[in-house]
Chains A and B, each alone.
Chain A
Amino acid sequence: MNFRDTMLDNYKEILKTYISDQTEQALYLSEKFSRKLLECKVSPEEMISLHKTSIMELEPDLPESLLLSLDILLEVMMAYGLAYREHQSLRTIQRELINEIEVAASMQQTLLGTQIPHLSSLDIGAISVPAKQMSGDYYHFVSHENGAISVAIADIIGKGIPAALCMSMIKYSMDSMPDDSQAPGDVLERLNRVVEQNVDPTMFITMFSGLYHPENHTFHYSSAGHEPGFFYNSEKGIFEELKAKGLLLGVDKKAKYNEYERKVEVGDVILLMSDGVTECRTEDGFLEVDTLIGYIEKYIQLGAQDIADKVYKELEYLQDFQLRDDFTLIILKRIA
């Protein structure tokens, strides 16, 4: 027998017990009864009708006015009943949406996957952690036929799904770029035109684009409004900002991007990051550049991937494991 068949008898029993002696026991039973009602999807109006039937059977001499008042109560509870049913169906929809987002997030990981190139002279490490399910950060490596390596790191302003969609567009444009256009400034100029044409005016992208030549160990780079990276000069043991000027992608279609150059010696390290690194908020305010450099310095002797992982761990700890922004850090270390 299911609950619906017996609920009138159950309820009458509870009512009867309570009317004869007002025990906590009866109240506890009604609490359990009410949970069962929800479980079996009994609506408020049905419950009131059940109450009316029960009380009429138990107390046949009740005044008419009291019974009539239950009709009003029933009518008044109709809207609650509807809201309850709507809530049920919204919950199902929500569950479906969550599932879809999970699928989209894993698709994004596959779509945006990039191979970290292997070079005998350059040790490369990268870490990228989304704040929510979908990341608005993006990094990309390309190994060119002439042996040079392109690296790009981008931050889509806006987070979540819109940012992820936008990023797929960037990824597609980068993949369809001819192998002979490697110069970081050219890359940014091309992408800027794509973004300017296709994206919502309040959405834009910061990007740092670099090119490493292993035959003469120079690093060329340009920035489109991106957080400057750092350069570790191992001989002097100092960090310098990789300063580069350039406008965000998607603001002005005629924007030009200057190219800068660095000579990289054995032991030197190039660090590229998203603003999730520098805008990392802690209890005492913002992370200061010096603090960040302190962390990097602590691990600078390690391998590239270890530096990235360890610095991330430190910052994660500093923020109490609550990332407010997507976090991406790329390390290029010349080892030979």
Chain B
Amino acid sequence: MMDSSVKIINEWDIVAARQLGRNVAKELGFGIVDQARITTAISELARNIYLYAGQGEIIIEKVENGAKKGMTIISRDAGPGISDLRKVMEDGFSTSGGLGAGLPGVKRLMDEFSIESTLGEGTLIQSVKWLR
């Protein structure tokens, strides 16, 4: 199983993370619509790290579950953490503010989504997109 990661420190790292995600998505055989969805989700996660945590990393992994193939995007940071997860997962908070799709957007773009966050320790988000 191959995996690779991109450290997110400045805004240009978001592009690198997208590039990595796109390469893996293409390799796995995702169509152009799903490629766009996956890279948009990566952008969103990477931008969150860049804006709110200062630094962290995006890890891309290929996954297999029986006959199913897909890819996982992991976003990990040691930032301040999120105090109210329910609030950030609520609709209508981020897009209207012009900041992007927000975490609910990532959840919609991907097939699986999970988030863990501890105040003062950081946030770990894992999401999976399956190849159909």
Interface residues of A (CB under 8 A from B): 45-46, 49, 52, 71, 74-75, 78-79, 82-83, 85-86, 89-90, 93
- Taking a contact as CB atoms under 8 Å apart, the answer to whether A49 and B91 are in contact is no
Q: State in angstroms the CA–CA spacing of A85 and B105 once bound together.
A: 9
The residues of A that contact B40 with a CB separation of less than 8 Å are 75, 78, 82
- Taking a contact as CB atoms under 8 Å apart, the answer to whether B91 and A82 are in contact is no
- Taking a contact as CB atoms under 8 Å apart, the answer to whether A83 and B95 are in contact is yes
The residues of A that contact B32 with a CB separation of less than 8 Å are 49, 52, 71, 74
Interface residue count on the B side (C-beta < 8 Å): 15
- Taking a contact as CB atoms under 8 Å apart, the answer to whether A82 and B109 are in contact is yes
Is the C-beta of B36 less than 8 angstroms from some C-beta in chain A? yes
Q: State in angstroms the CA–CA spacing of A83 and B96 once bound together.
A: 9
Select one of B36, B101, B105 contacting A45, CB under 8 A: B36
- Taking a contact as CB atoms under 8 Å apart, the answer to whether B101 and A90 are in contact is no
Q: State in angstroms the CA–CA spacing of A79 and B95 once bound together.
A: 9
The residues of B that contact A90 with a CB separation of less than 8 Å are 91-92
Known: A86-B91, A86-B95, A89-B91. A79 touches B33 (CB 8 A): no
CB within 8 Å: A-B pair count:
41
Q: State in angstroms the CA–CA spacing of A70 and B3 once bound together.
A: 30
The residues of A that contact B91 with a CB separation of less than 8 Å are 86, 89-90, 93
Q: How far is the CB of A89 from chain B (nearest CB, A)?
A: 5
Known: A74-B32, A78-B40, A86-B92. 5 other contacts (CB 8 A): A45-B33, A49-B31, A75-B36, A75-B40, A86-B105
Q: State in angstroms the CA–CA spacing of A89 and B104 once bound together.
A: 10
Q: How far is the CB of A90 from chain B (nearest CB, A)?
A: 5
| Binary CB contact string for chain B from 13 to 30 against chain A (1 if under 8 A, 0 otherwise) | 000000000000000000
The winner among A49, A78, A82, A89 for most chain B CB atoms within 10 A is A82
Is the C-beta of B80 less than 8 angstroms from some C-beta in chain A? no
The residues of A that contact B33 with a CB separation of less than 8 Å are 45-46, 49, 74
Is the C-beta of B69 less than 8 angstroms from some C-beta in chain A? no
Q: How far is the CB of B31 from chain A (nearest CB, A)?
A: 7
State which residues 63-100 of B face A: CB under 8 Å. Answer: 91-92, 95, 100
Q: How far is the CB of A82 from chain B (nearest CB, A)?
A: 4
Q: State in angstroms the CA–CA spacing of A109 and B2 once bound together.
A: 64
The residues of B that contact A89 with a CB separation of less than 8 Å are 91, 104
Is the C-beta of B37 less than 8 angstroms from some C-beta in chain A? yes
Q: State in angstroms the CA–CA spacing of A49 and B95 once bound together.
A: 24
- Taking a contact as CB atoms under 8 Å apart, the answer to whether A79 and B101 are in contact is yes
Please give me the residue from chain A that is nearest to B94 by CB atom: A86
- Taking a contact as CB atoms under 8 Å apart, the answer to whether A82 and B92 are in contact is no
Q: State in angstroms the CA–CA spacing of A75 and B108 once bound together.
A: 16
Q: How far is the CB of A87 from chain B (nearest CB, A)?
A: 9
Please give me the residue from chain A that is nearest to B92 by CB atom: A90
Q: State in angstroms the CA–CA spacing of A294 and B108 once bound together.
A: 63
14 example contacts (A-B, Cβ-Cβ < 8 A) are as follows A45-B33, A49-B33, A71-B32, A78-B40, A82-B40, A82-B95, A82-B101, A82-B105, A82-B109, A86-B91, A86-B92, A86-B101, A89-B104, A90-B92
